[in-house]
């Protein structure tokens, strides 16, 4: 469910991608997850709004079990904010846009 603004990411490319110059917000999701679908449009909006400032990524937890396991993800959607490859903060659950904007601002 990635778009031209939101990139899909897999286990193999994960560490290299989140270690880039830009902060990265990773949405851990699955196609069968209702709350994941509910925040999808918000994630899309954020990707457009923060283009060039923050990389927005989506990782399907069913297809990529290694990375979610590494970060102890037990519920989805979980959004983790990375800066320079390190976790800045994370939110679990379908939250509103304001909470996600506040999360992103921690890395800017």
Q: What is the pLDDT of residues 74-99, one digit of tens each?
A: 999 999 999 999 999 999 999 999 99
- 79, 26 in Cβ contact below 8 A? yes
How many domains, in total, are found in the chain? 1
Residue 73 inside a domain? The answer is: yes
Question: Which domain range does residue 18 map to?
Answer: 7-105
Q: Which helix (H) or strand (E) holds 59?
A: strand 55-60
Residue 99 within any structural domain of the chain: yes
pLDDT at 3 over 80: no
Catalytic residue among 36, 56, 104, 107: 36
Is residue 67 one of the residues assigned to a domain? yes
Residue 2 maps to a domain: no
The answer to the question of residue 77 being in a domain is yes
In a domain, 39, yes or no: yes
What is the CATH classification number for the domain harbouring 48?
3.40.30.10
Residue 25 inside a domain? The answer is yes
d(CA 29, CA 52): 23
Q: Of residues 33, 42, 46, 76, which has the active-site annotation?
A: 33
Is 36 among the catalytic positions?
Answer: yes
């Amino acid at each position: 469910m990635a778009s031209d603004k939101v990139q899909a990411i897999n286990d193999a490319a994960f560490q290299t991608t989140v270690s880039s110059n830009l902060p990265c917000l990773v949405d851990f999701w699955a196609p069968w997850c209702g709350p994941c679908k509910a925040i999808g449009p918000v994630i899309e909006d954020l990707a457009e709004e923060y283009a060039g400032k923050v990389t927005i990524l989506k990782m399907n937890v069913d297809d990529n079990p290694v990375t979610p396991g590494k970060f102890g993800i037990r519920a989805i959607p979980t959004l983790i904010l990375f800066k320079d490859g390190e976790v800045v903060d994370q939110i679990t659950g379908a939250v509103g846009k304001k909470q996600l904007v506040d999360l992103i601002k921690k890395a800017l």
